[in-house]
Structure formats: C-alpha cells, structure tokens
Amino acid sequence: MQSLDDFAAGKLRELDRNNLHRVLAETDRLDGVWVERAGRRLISFCCNDYLNLTHHPAIKAAATAAIARYGVGSGASRLVTGNHPLFGELERRLARLKGSAAACVFGSGYLANAGIIPALVGSTDLVLIDELSHACLWTGARLSRATVLPFRHSDTTQVEALLDRHRGRHPRALIATDGVFSMDGDLAPLPQLSALAKRFDAWLMTDDAHGLGVIGGGRGSTFAYPKPVDVPLQMGTLSKAIGGYGGYLCASDPVIDLIHNRARTFVYATGLPPAMVAAALAALDLIEREPGYAALPLAKAKTFARLTGLPEAQSPIVPLIVGEAEAALAASRLLEAEGFLVTAIRPPTVPAGTARLRFTFTAAHPDGEIERLAALVGKVLPRQVESVAP
Ligand SMILES: Cc1ncc(COP(=O)(O)O)c(C=O)c1O
C-alpha cells in the first residue's frame, strides 16, 4: 500500500539523517568468542555470552538430549500441556540459587518483565523506575497503567523524596530497577533501595539479566553486597551468562501462584522449549561447580578498565561513552578494521548524546587480545573519536 510504504520510507529517512538507522548484519558465531562477518574472522567484545556457554559441549549435549526425549517445542501454554517435567526442576534450582521460595520460568526476559509488573500493579498504583532501566522493564511499567515516575539513575535521595510525596496516594507501590545496568555495567544501590522499600511499604523488583552467573558468586546482584539484600521480586533471563533463552521470576509462593494466574505473557504464551530448559539446568550445574570460572568475566573487565584508565568495572560490561551516534559508529568501524567486533550503541537504547561502545568480557577472552584492544582504545580511539565528533 502506497501510504504505508511512504510512511515507512519517511521514518527511515529521519533515522538516516540522525545516524540512527539500524541494519542487521549476518554474524556466524564460531564459538563463544570468535565470529565471522562478511567473510572476516573477528573477536567479539559485545556478546552477552559471558561464560561462553552458547557453545559449551555439555550444554549443547543437554539441549540435544532434551529434544530427543521431549521434542522440539512445548506444544502449548504451560497451563495447558506445555509444562514438561524439566520446568519444575529448573524452577527449584533458580529459587535455591536466588534464596527465594519459588520461581516461574517465562518464554523470555522481555516477556517476563512485560507480564510481571501488570500482574502486580494497576491503574491506581505507583511505579518508581530508574531512568536507565532496560526497555522491557519500562514496557512492563507502562503496560500496568500505573502512575510511572522515573527517578534519576541510582539517585536514592530522589526515590525517598518521590515516595514521601506520592506513596500515600496509591494503594500499592513498586520500585523497579536493573540490578546490573545493561548499557552502563554499574550495580544498582540495592541495600538503600531495599531499606526505602521497607520504610514506605513498596515492593522492590530487580531485573538481574546481567547479574546471574557472573556477579555475587554467580547468584546475581542481590548477593553482590556485604550482606544479601532482601529483594522480593528477582527477575532475570536465561539468555546472557546462561547461554540459552528464556526468562524467570524468583519470588514467594503466593506471588508465583498469582503470576501463573495473572501474567498475560505467561498464561497466553507457549512454554519455553524443553531444550532451553535443559540447557539452563546444565549451565547452573557448571556455574555452581566452577565458581572460579564464573568469576573470570568480571576479572577480565576490571583488567581492561585498568589498562584503559576507565572507571573500575563492577560487572563484565564496560562502557566508553563517545557522545554522538556518528562518533560511536566511527569508533566501532575503527575497531572492526583491527579485528574487534564492538557494536556501537545508539539512542534510543541509551539517552541522546551518550552513544557509546559497550565492551563486554567473557571467561574465554584471551588476555593478549584484551591487552591489544586496550592499547588500541587507549591510544588510537580518543583521537579518532575527537576527529569525527561534531
Ligand atoms: C537488562 C535486561 N533485561 C531484560 C532483557 C531481555 O531479556 P531477553 O533477551 O531474555 O528477552 C535484556 C536483554 O536484552 C536485558 O539486557
């Protein structure tokens, strides 16, 4: 239809003008570290496969065995016939790891966030959300139709002021934040947020997509502090360090029972395929068995940050903010020419004026490559970034 195509073409022209048009690049991930793109072998410093489990032989074998035993798909919603026996085992394991009474596995992390928040709060309620929280946490907050008030990144003084002012007008209040911020790599101030949540009778929810497996002894951001923090709603994903796909919520028995009944993305979506559940179980085995291995991505990120003079890494994610989208694209192209794949991160994934390179570190990154990358970033990149900056 002409009007439809004209609309799309107009929108794309606008994106082009602002250097924000994104295109898919075919990428053959050869293992947990190396990729092939347009016939070139590159070392990737931008995957979330922190423990290189996407290609781990034991994880692949577990997935293959589950397909042979249970089939490829789940066949229906978990509330109909899709609840294959592996789910219970994974949910017990996740709950144990996270120190909660129960857990619920969703089709993905995005689906989890889009389903959890609207199941717990509604139009008369209040949601306070860190401004830099992941897009799908925002999606859940908006879908709930609650009053959504963003707070400045990790600013607990503002959280306190907002609760003081608004809490009394709403029957229920939720504080939502990433545990590890996906584009910045820093940890949320969970002990302070937990204390405020208790004081104002608000419910604290963390999105721990980038914490599970690599932070807090593998148990996630809740366990990254001197004392474990009381977080009654711990959400996460199986798609990063776990190496597969799927999302989850760890919470109390009644909350999980309610989620089974009220979360639309759980009730009305097909259960996660058995292979992914089996892969997650094998990944948890490995993380619990090999804490030294699970600690490597953070250690490597710290080394890189030290070598480049960037602030100390708190997670395997190290951002280098360059400003404008064009500058981030140029910096990414420069690294690619030297054999490093580091995708430029542009708005709206990050706020305008904070386009960046987001370096991620995995257990298997060779130290020599990290040193080569750090040398390049330290010497060549700042000059290149300056020369393309407006
Ligand atoms: C912080 C955060 N939350 C949620 C998600 C969504 O998880 P999934 O990819 O499993 O849908 C992601 C990943 O894209 C993320 O980075």
The model's confidence at residue 382, banded by pLDDT at 50, 70 and 90, is low
Instruction: Give the pocket of ligand 1 (CB within 6 Å).
Output: 108-110, 134, 136, 178, 182, 207, 209-210, 237, 239, 247
Chain centre to alpha carbon of residue 178? 8
What is the pTM assigned to this prediction?
0.95
Cα(58) to ligand 1 centroid in Å equals 24
Instruction: Round to whole Å and give the CA distance between 111 and 114.
Output: 5
Instruction: Round to whole Å and give the CA distance between 99 and 255.
Output: 15
The protein residue whose alpha carbon is closest to atom 16 in ligand 1 is 182
- Collapse the DSSP code of 98 into the 3-class scheme (helix H, G, I; strand E, B; otherwise coil) and give the result: helix
Atom of ligand 1 nearest to the CA of 247: 10
Instruction: Round to whole Å and give the CA distance between 119 and 207.
Output: 16
Q: Which of 115, 130, 113 is nearest to 193 (CA)?
A: 130
**pLDDT over threshold 60, residue 134:** yes
Mean pLDDT of the chain: 96
Cα(164) to ligand 1 centroid in Å equals 31
Cα(34) to ligand 1 centroid in Å equals 22
The protein residue whose alpha carbon is closest to atom 10 in ligand 1 is 109
| The pLDDT value given to residue 390 | 42
Instruction: Round to whole Å and give the CA distance between 214 and 87.
Output: 23
The model's confidence at residue 389, banded by pLDDT at 50, 70 and 90, is very low
Instruction: Round to whole Å and give the CA distance between 295 and 271.
Output: 31
Residue with tokens 């999105």: 207
Tokens for 75, please give them: 């066949």
Cα(99) to ligand 1 centroid in Å equals 22
**pLDDT over threshold 70, residue 384:** no
Question: Ligand 1: which of 50, 129, 136 to mutate, judged by most atoms within 8 Å of the beta carbon?
Answer: 136
Distances (CA, A) of 300 to 22, 378, 386: 29, 16, 27
Cα(109) to ligand 1 centroid in Å equals 5
The protein residue whose alpha carbon is closest to atom 8 in ligand 1 is 109
Question: Ligand 1: which of 132, 239, 248, 360 to mutate, judged by most atoms within 8 Å of the beta carbon?
Answer: 239
Q: Which of 50, 364, 349 is nearest to 184 (CA)?
A: 349
| The pLDDT value given to residue 379 | 78
The protein residue whose alpha carbon is closest to atom 7 in ligand 1 is 109
Question: Ligand 1: which of 47, 49, 50, 110 to mutate, judged by most atoms within 8 Å of the beta carbon?
Answer: 110
Asked if residues 75 and 81 have their Cβ atoms less than 8 Å apart, the reply is yes
Note the pLDDT tens digit of each residue in 227-279.
Answer: 999 999 999 999 999 999 999 999 999 999 999 999 999 999 999 999 999 99
Q: Which of 68, 36, 5 is nearest to 44 (CA)?
A: 36
Question: Ligand 1: which of 47, 182, 235, 317 to mutate, judged by most atoms within 8 Å of the beta carbon?
Answer: 182
Cα(356) to ligand 1 centroid in Å equals 19
**pLDDT over threshold 90, residue 217:** yes
Q: What single-letter amino acid sits at 94?
A: L
Tokens for 344, please give them: 């430029």
Asked if residues 250 and 219 have their Cβ atoms less than 8 Å apart, the reply is no
The protein residue whose alpha carbon is closest to atom 15 in ligand 1 is 209
4 burial type by CB count under 10 A (0-12 exposed, 13-18 middle, 19+ buried) = exposed
Cα(360) to ligand 1 centroid in Å equals 15
| The pLDDT value given to residue 383 | 57
**pLDDT over threshold 60, residue 388:** no
Query: Looking at residues 198-221, what average pLDDT do you find?
Result: 97
- Collapse the DSSP code of 63 into the 3-class scheme (helix H, G, I; strand E, B; otherwise coil) and give the result: helix
Residue with tokens 């400045």: 152
Query: Looking at residues 145-160, what average pLDDT do you find?
Result: 98
275 burial type by CB count under 10 A (0-12 exposed, 13-18 middle, 19+ buried) = buried
**pLDDT over threshold 50, residue 333:** yes
Atom of ligand 1 nearest to the CA of 180: 1
Query: Looking at residues 137-143, what average pLDDT do you find?
Result: 98
Instruction: Round to whole Å and give the CA distance between 94 and 207.
Output: 14
Atom of ligand 1 nearest to the CA of 178: 1
**Enzyme catalytic residues:** 182, 210, 240
